Amino acid sequence: MKKNLQRLIEIPSGAQVEIKGNGITVKGSGKEFKRTFDLGKVKMTHADGKIRLHADKATKRESRMIGTVNAHVKNMIKGLNEEYVYKLEIASVHFPMVVKVDEAKKVVVIKTFLGEKADRHSKILPGAKVEVKGNEITVRSHDKEIAGQTAANIEKATKVKGRDRRIFQDGIFLTDRCGDKI
């Protein structure tokens, strides 16, 4: 391949970007996101209201790195103004589940899952807000990775192991991911 590649990311008004080495800080609307990348041969610069990702004589590895960093930086900029929302649904066939949020311990507590006496716990990452209303759980955050990982933690806490999934269909399942129906 060995081409000169570059991508430009527009910085909206009200957002401030600071680049130091492989790290980037995005500020605006009272929020701040920091991220460090292992860029390799890719260079990241900031000028004229744009972030420039470029690599001279780039291989497939640098091309993929530019695409990945581009996506992460766009998510950081988008997160300044809007929240990322994940929705999960509680599905219980036989034993009713009781799901509560423990704000003090920053965990979601799942009681009586498949009739188990021991409670199951799911970690809520700092910066995420979790609400339980009826059979729906909503996870919100301005950081897409924090919202997604918290939703994944909740879904993983009710994973059925060692039983037939066709019969034991209870669990908490992701139904809506940042506006995309699943």
Query: Same domain for 177 and 90?
Result: yes
Closest CA relative to residue 154, chosen from 90, 85, 75:
90
Do 60 and 144 share a domain, yes or no?
A: no
Within this chain, do residues 141 and 95 fall inside the same structural domain, yes or no? yes
Residue 48: give its domain's CATH number.
3.90.930.12
Question: Using CA atoms, how far apart are residues 21 and 87, in angstroms rounded to an integer?
Answer: 37
Domain closes at, from 29, 62, 79: 79
Name the percent of the chain in helix, strand, coil, to the closest 5. 20, 45, 35
Q: How many residues make up the chain in this entry? A: 182
For the stretch 71-97, pLDDT in tens is: 999 999 999 999 999 999 999 988 899
Same domain (yes/no): 96, 21 = no
53 shares its domain with 27: yes
- For residue 161, what are the domain limits? 84-181
pLDDT score for 67? 95
What rounded mean pLDDT belongs to the chain?
A: 92
Q: Is residue 37 predicted with pLDDT exceeding 80?
A: yes
Contact 151, 126 (CB under 8 A): no
Mark whether 47 and 93 lie in a shared domain. Answer: no
Q: What is the pTM of this model?
A: 0.88
36 CA to centre of own chain: 16
Task: Retrieve residue 68's tokens.
Answer: 């990945």
